[in-house]
Structure 1
Amino acid sequence: MPSMTGFGKNFPHTSQLSIPEALNRAYAHWNDGQAAEAEKLCQYVLLAWPYQTDAMHLLGLIAHAYGHLDMAVSHLRQACTAQTAPAVYFSNFAEICRQKGLLAEAEQAAQQAIKLNPNLVDAWNNLGIILQESGKLDASLECLQRVVNLTPDEATAHNNLANTYRRLNRLERAEEHYKKALELKPNYAEAHSNMAFLLNSQGQFDQAAAAARQAIEINPQLVDAYLNLADVETTRLRHAEAFRSLDALIAFAPQHVAALTARAQLLKKMERNEDALICARQALALAPDNANAHNTLGLVLQALGLHEEALAAFDQAAVLPGSVKEEALVSRASLFMESGRVEDAIAAFDQTLLAFPGSIRVMTNRNDTKIYLSNDPDIATMEASLVQADSLSLMDRMAVHFALGKAYLDTRNSARAFYHLDAGNRLKRSTFNYDAAVTKLWMERIAATFNADLLAQHTGVDVSSELPVFIIGMPRSGTTLVEQILASHPHIHGAGELSALRLAIEKAGTFPESVANPSSDVLAQIGHDYLAHITQLANGKKRLVDKMPSNFFYAGLIPLILPGARIIHCRRDPVDTCLSCYSKHFTGEQLFSYDQTELGQFHLAYQALMDHWRQVLPDDRFIEVDYEAVVDDLEGEAKRLIDFVGMPWDEACLDFHKTRRVVRTASVNQVRQPIYKTSKGRWKRNAAHLAPLLAALKIEHSE
């Protein structure tokens, strides 16, 4: 090797070093934590020998240490082009590619490292993690078990193996290895964070939050710990706390892709979809090949009704390396269902099941596409999944119980149906706090605030648009059916369940106190805010239907902020309504629905509030429609509805089940079918299992 004579002006301390000497010193400086000195020596080498392998490798490690991930990938990729590149270089390159999200290239590099040196533990470890993140879990398990066997006293080996067990839903084995990792290294922040994730999936929320906070205390810049803490708080519906965790993370990692996707998902859950879209697009711009970023974007686009764009995002998520393929394919199938493409949805679910045999996620999501027969193989598969307690997370157990409840209701096996419905509802109820008495008092305050005098005082607000039509009532009371009838009219747009009214009201302050003594300006602003959101959705049609059932809370305010609006209250037999709620695992937050007594208490409070609205709302702007009447006399009730909203009659309203439009509701399957009467009085054949509900509703029943 030649000496470096001739470069002394730029590198005054190295003028007589040979290349091997310069490299040895560079690596020594690196190992001593002196990155700047190491970098100077590498640059010194490259002046004499451009792209020298060892210098490029070390520059890649230095770039990574400085957070320059693209530069690190470039340098290490160049280092690995040399025929003499050792296994460790490929192993390091594999890890940097993994961190960049280049999973296919990462796997290739790790495989090359193992080929060059089958005894390199780090290479097996890196390959195991890469395979784990690529969704190749069986292969990952094999790699990481080898690492644990070779290094049984290494905490990191147990932690990484536990991560794969967790993704394989072998939760007991995951917990075993997380605990072993923490036994070997009590201040192992990553293991505490991963334990938080596991505990959260098992429904042990307090312990999960404590583990995540302990991880953050040990390592205040551990990204996953903040994500896991936010996930715990989101699961138990403590959204403000979840935002605080993500804000703390983004404060030191403003461009972290996982942080941005988590924030987008939380914003979507809070129905702040436009803000969620900004976050999701930002994440995707930073990591165009990140499957989770594409999947998150798809979910947000779906929430915004941009179905073709959402479908493209799900398709992209499904073909990229990562662990969200199953979720993306299920979301794709559900999207077809919402769009009225039922046959496409069924086919998509079937295709996903071929890719993921025995998938509980597929079976629980497709249960609304079918009426079960007693010999349906899905029933046996879901029942079997519950026998293996270690194989299902809390959320999956809930989903299976609700799906089996629906299946057994279909087959008229009431005892088995309510075994599962009671179990699913108990699990769901355990995840959040809810006080039925507080809710009842709140509704009473609403009624007291919006008395006849208040409505008489405010009749001159100049927001006279006749565009909005509100459908209100209990969930599962026929609101979707009524909307579908209206939306089949060529001049009426069905917008689904919008959060726009609630958000416009919340801008003014705490409801109902914020509008107890409202000024005309405040009322007008709320009305204008609402119209600003919905006008663009109407696509130029004369009426827009907002069928958010819970807008019944705000029915007394609607005439004050939107005097031209119409309100349709949907009613249904109270017990049928409540049974339908109790048998549904809602995607939204129907907190009153998961305990029969609380459900009955809520329905009574709702009835009292509706009794009040019936007395004070203007007759020309408020009507009530009974689900049973629509079932018995579709044409008569449909004509009454169309007349009420001021539109000429159109025969298409009788063929509502043929209307192709997006339906995002728990009743998505029912509105694709003609009127049927089997839901009338359904509760009576299940009455033996409804004693708490009947008692709460003050309904006596004898067989």
Structure 2
Amino acid sequence: MSNVPGSSDAMSIPEALGRAHAHWNAGQADQAEQLCQRVLAAWPSQAEALHLLGLMAHAYGNLDLAISHLREACRAPRAPAVYSSNLAEMYRQKGLLAEGEEAARRAVAMDPALASGWNNLGIVLQEVGKFAESLECLERAIALQPDSPQAHNNLANTSRRLGRMDRAEQHYHQALALNPAYAEAHSNLAFLRSTQGRYDEAAASAQRAIELSPRLVDAYLNLAEVESSRHRHDAALRVLDMLAAFAPQHPAALVARAKALRQLERLDEALAFVRQAVTLAPKSAEAHNTLATVLQSLGQTDEALAHFEQAALLPGAVAEEALVGRATLLMEAGRRDDALAAFDRVLGVFPGSVQALAGRADARTFRAGDADIAALEACVAEGERRSLTDRISAHFALGKAYLDIQDPERAFHHLDTGNRQKRSTFTYDAAATCQWMERVAEAFTPELYPRLPAAGEPSALPVFILGMPRSGTTLIEQIVSSHPQVTGAGELSALRLVVEGSGLFPARVPGMTGDEAAHLGREYLSRVTPLAGGRARLVDKMPGNFLYAGLIPLMLPGARIIHARRDPVDTCLSCYTKLFSGEQRFTYDQTELGTFYRHYERLMAHWREVLPPECLIEVDYEAVVDNLEDEARRLVDFMGLPWDDACLNFHDNRRVVRTASVNQVRQPIYKTSKGRWQAYAGYLGPLLAALGIDAHDVQHRA
């Protein structure tokens, strides 16, 4: 047998390898590496030395070198199966999933009793999205090695991906029973609890994982996800800052940061981070999917559709989400037939997909015996085995379905359940919100406007459509934005961000100077002017801007305000039946909804008294429905534009509509929404009480 060169004492290759392993196990990496290199000098391509060098390179974070060594080790004629198994795991970590799957399959074919081989194949298949096969592999791993915490953890991950939440939780707990200091299992349990809406427990599990393993990337990502799920996006960014301190270029961390920034409407920053992630990990489905959502928010529809498609075709666990995102974007863009075909495509690949069933619910009218109803009922019947997001979506979709088939009792059972579940996911202080609206009104006295006449930045560009959600704001925007000189920009956060960033609102408004008012106006215009596309008017239809309406004539003399009004109960009912994509926290409890509406009415009455009359017009939804042309002409005249007949054919306007009313505004005016609530008065007791309407009086009103 060959001896190892370069040593005073003659040492055979097996002895050198034995010593190398001993040094490595004792934490003496330098000595282990020297011995391996001496073995390779005597016997180039010696498999065991290459394998050990590969493990060392992996431990020190050099994945490319690790893969190179292991690939060469696997070429040896009698290389054991474990080499291929370890290579598979390194390929997976590098994101080379097809190569990882091939190596892992080779390992278990060579040695069907290799528990680690089945475990690694199970993980790769999980990431590829072959969940049923993954489950089989991981069950075999546990059968071969029942006391392996890793196998239980991985089986739990796959169970979670299959929507079997109860089984997932059981195996995470089993992994932790076998190893209470298993940081990855604590981190994964955090993710599971977050999907179930158990946010405090989820945060505690993620923090425990970080304590046990301060450089465990997934634990930070899961903690950030918990904070985002609680709508605490600033807190999510702080968690990601901690992660960036030791992993600044981690693609998943960049993706998570882009998601949080998108929620805060810091879209240009979000785009920069997610493009960086795609550059670093061009085969990451998650990165392409997030890039698509950011581009969607920026109105770059074609590029967004392309990245949704790419995310759906790449190996990974976001294919369903990406396909639903693509279908939803097609709906927003007015391509209804394409959108419905896209939802069918999701259901072809993911039968029973709740997000697809719920996504298309608004675009169709249900009939008795509809197969979608049975599929949605099957989801809610599974209870906590399904994620909270799926259950909430299913309840709202079933509410819509049963209203369509005129079964209000079942409809309101689902609507009440869905609203209650959604309400449990965030904190909202109704009393504090109402007190804040009162303080806003107190800050804007009639004397303020003569003191600052025309002090702001004069511009006729902005037109604000504001009011309650579901009060007809989208319909009015669709009518006026059909005019060739008007751009409908949708629901912009620009006014809120400018006002809140100033520190003036509301307490310092009474002492505001003309310079401060002009600065606010310039700030707002700098954000929105690029969206106007050179047209004379830009419509900002964020309904919640009614809170800031008093500032508009001070900061933007020349701006116009359109207040959309609708029957109070019809408005609130429409809110209560809708699962909003944005934050409308006051809409998920009938009493809180009615209370908010009453305070909104009081604030609007105040604006009516103090605002210069030439800057405000009020439009009733019912009047638009009854007499479209007169109201459309009144609106166009108010905007200072010549009449154009395109405003009467608003439903042909192909612009992207990104609100809860996306389907309604693609249709000509219909009158079925007027007085709709009276048929459901028996289910609206808390709402009617909060609005001060006597339910017994409803029949007389009808």
TM-score, normalisation: structure 1: 0.96
- In structure 1, the partner of 2:109 is 115
Q: 2:225 pairs with 226, 231, 235, which one? A: 231
Deviates more, 1:601-610 or 1:111-120: 111-120
Matches within 5 A, 1:210-609: 210-509=204-503, 511-609=505-603
- In structure 2, the partner of 1:189 is 183
- In structure 1, the partner of 2:651 is 657
Residues 685 and 695, structure 2, Cα contact 8 Å, conserved in 1 = no
Q: Which amino acid aligns with 1:667?
A: S
Kindly provide the CA deviation profile for residues 2-23 of structure 1, in whole angstroms up to 9, marking residues without a partner as x.
5454xx5xxxx57965655544
Query: What is the SS of the residue equivalent to 1:545?
Result: strand
Deviation at 1:51, TM superposition (A): 4.8
Deviates more, 1:390-399 or 1:442-451: 390-399
Query: What is the SS of the residue equivalent to 1:176?
Result: helix
Query: What is the SS of the residue equivalent to 2:502?
Result: coil
Residues 444 and 509, structure 2, Cα contact 8 Å, conserved in 1 = no
Q: Which amino acid aligns with 1:599?
A: L
- In structure 2, the partner of 1:89 is 83
Q: How many equivalent pairs are there?
A: 697
Deviation at 1:495, TM superposition (A): 0.6
Q: Which amino acid aligns with 1:466?
A: A
Partner Cα distance (1:462, 1:550) in 2:
22
Cα distance change on mapping 1:341 and 1:433 into 2, 3 Å:
same
- In structure 2, the partner of 1:624 is 618
Partner Cα distance (1:527, 1:72) in 2:
58
Partner Cα distance (2:273, 2:8) in 1:
49
Q: Which amino acid aligns with 1:368?
A: D
Kindly provide the CA deviation profile for residues 426-460 of structure 1, in whole angstroms up to 9, marking residues without a partner as x.
00111111111111111111111122212222223
Deviation at 1:122, TM superposition (A): 0.7
Residues 3 and 42, structure 2, Cα contact 8 Å, conserved in 1 = no
Residues 457 and 519, structure 2, Cα contact 8 Å, conserved in 1 = no
Q: Which amino acid aligns with 1:574?
A: P
Q: 2:28 pairs with 34, 54, 74, which one? A: 34
Residues 159 and 167, structure 2, Cα contact 8 Å, conserved in 1 = yes
Deviation at 1:160, TM superposition (A): 1.3
Residues 508 and 514, structure 1, Cα contact 8 Å, conserved in 2 = no
Residues 565 and 621, structure 2, Cα contact 8 Å, conserved in 1 = yes
Partner Cα distance (1:293, 1:491) in 2:
37
Give me the identity figure in percent.
62
Q: 1:176 pairs with 162, 170, 175, which one? A: 170
Kindly provide the CA deviation profile for residues 229-274 of structure 1, in whole angstroms up to 9, marking residues without a partner as x.
2222222223333222222222222122222211211111122211
Q: Which amino acid aligns with 1:86?
A: P
Partner Cα distance (1:172, 1:530) in 2:
49
Deviation at 1:46, TM superposition (A): 4.4
Residues 233 and 263, structure 2, Cα contact 8 Å, conserved in 1 = no
Cα distance change on mapping 1:452 and 1:161 into 2, 3 Å:
same
Query: What is the SS of the residue equivalent to 1:408?
Result: helix
Q: Which contiguous aligned blocks of 4+ residues in structure 1 show a shift greater than 6 angstroms?
A: none
Residues 569 and 623, structure 1, Cα contact 8 Å, conserved in 2 = yes
Residues 493 and 542, structure 2, Cα contact 8 Å, conserved in 1 = yes
The answer to whether 1:133 aligns with 2:127 is: yes
Partner Cα distance (1:55, 1:532) in 2:
63
Deviation at 1:150, TM superposition (A): 1.4
Partner Cα distance (1:666, 1:611) in 2:
26
Partner Cα distance (1:623, 1:47) in 2:
87
Residues 642 and 649, structure 1, Cα contact 8 Å, conserved in 2 = yes
Partner Cα distance (1:663, 1:134) in 2:
34
Query: What is the SS of the residue equivalent to 1:181?
Result: helix
Deviation at 1:80, TM superposition (A): 2.9
Deviates more, 1:35-44 or 1:334-343: 35-44
Kindly provide the CA deviation profile for residues 632-662 of structure 1, in whole angstroms up to 9, marking residues without a partner as x.
1111111111111111111111111111111
Kindly provide the CA deviation profile for residues 476-500 of structure 1, in whole angstroms up to 9, marking residues without a partner as x.
0000001111111111111100111
Residues 4 and 15, structure 1, Cα contact 8 Å, conserved in 2 = no
Residues 456 and 554, structure 2, Cα contact 8 Å, conserved in 1 = no
Query: What is the SS of the residue equivalent to 2:447?
Result: helix
Residues 4 and 14, structure 1, Cα contact 8 Å, conserved in 2 = no
- In structure 1, the partner of 2:144 is 150
Residues 115 and 142, structure 2, Cα contact 8 Å, conserved in 1 = no
Residues 494 and 524, structure 2, Cα contact 8 Å, conserved in 1 = yes
Kindly provide the CA deviation profile for residues 510-567 of structure 1, in whole angstroms up to 9, marking residues without a partner as x.
6312534223332222221211111111111111111010011110111111112111
- In structure 1, the partner of 2:199 is 205
The answer to whether 1:680 aligns with 2:674 is: yes
Partner Cα distance (1:644, 1:589) in 2:
31
Q: Which amino acid aligns with 1:285?
A: T
Query: What is the SS of the residue equivalent to 1:476?
Result: coil
Query: What is the SS of the residue equivalent to 1:252?
Result: coil
Query: What is the SS of the residue equivalent to 1:452?
Result: coil
Q: Which amino acid aligns with 2:366?
A: Y
Give the unaligned 5+ runs of structure 2: none
TM-score, normalisation: structure 2: 0.96
Partner Cα distance (1:566, 1:52) in 2:
79
Kindly provide the CA deviation profile for residues 59-118 of structure 1, in whole angstroms up to 9, marking residues without a partner as x.
322222111223323333333344443211111111011111111111111001111111
Kindly provide the CA deviation profile for residues 356-409 of structure 1, in whole angstroms up to 9, marking residues without a partner as x.
112112101111111111222101111122222243111111111001111111
Partner Cα distance (1:482, 1:352) in 2:
33
Deviates more, 1:17-26 or 1:570-579: 17-26
Q: Which amino acid aligns with 1:326?
A: E
Q: Which amino acid aligns with 1:459?
A: P
Give the unaligned 5+ runs of structure 1: none
The answer to whether 1:79 aligns with 2:73 is: yes
